[in-house]
Amino acid sequence: MSCHQCQDLCIEYRIALPTELRKAIKIAHENIIDGTIEEILSKADRSGQIPFIELAKSGAWDDVLCYRFRCQECGEAFCLTAETYHGSGGSWKPERKGAIRAVP
Ligand SMILES: [Zn+2]
Question: Tens place of pLDDT for every residue, the chain, 104 residues?
Answer: 689 999 999 999 999 888 899 999 999 999 999 999 999 987 665 566 788 999 999 988 877 889 999 999 999 999 999 986 665 689 999 999 999 987 65
63 in a structural domain: yes
The confidence score (pLDDT) of residue 103 equals 63
Residue 85's domain spans which residues? 7-96
Which protein residues have a CB closer than 5 Å to ligand 1 (ion)? 3, 5-6, 71, 73-74, 76
The confidence score (pLDDT) of residue 61 equals 82
101 in a structural domain: no
The confidence score (pLDDT) of residue 88 equals 67
Do 78 and 95 touch, CB atoms closer than 8 A?
Answer: yes
104 in a structural domain: no
2 in a structural domain: no
Integer angstrom CA distances of residue 10 from 38, 70, 75, 93: 15, 11, 12, 6
The confidence score (pLDDT) of residue 9 equals 96
| Domains: count for the chain | 1
33 in a structural domain: yes
22 in a structural domain: yes
Provide long-range contacts, Cβ within 8 A and 24+ apart, for 52-58.
52/28, 53/29, 55/25, 56/25, 56/26, 56/28, 56/29, 56/32, 57/29
In the reported structure, the alpha carbon of residue 104 is separated from the centroid of ligand 1 by a whole-number distance in angstroms of 21
In the reported structure, the alpha carbon of residue 86 is separated from the centroid of ligand 1 by a whole-number distance in angstroms of 33
29 in a structural domain: yes
The confidence score (pLDDT) of residue 92 equals 96
1 in a structural domain: no
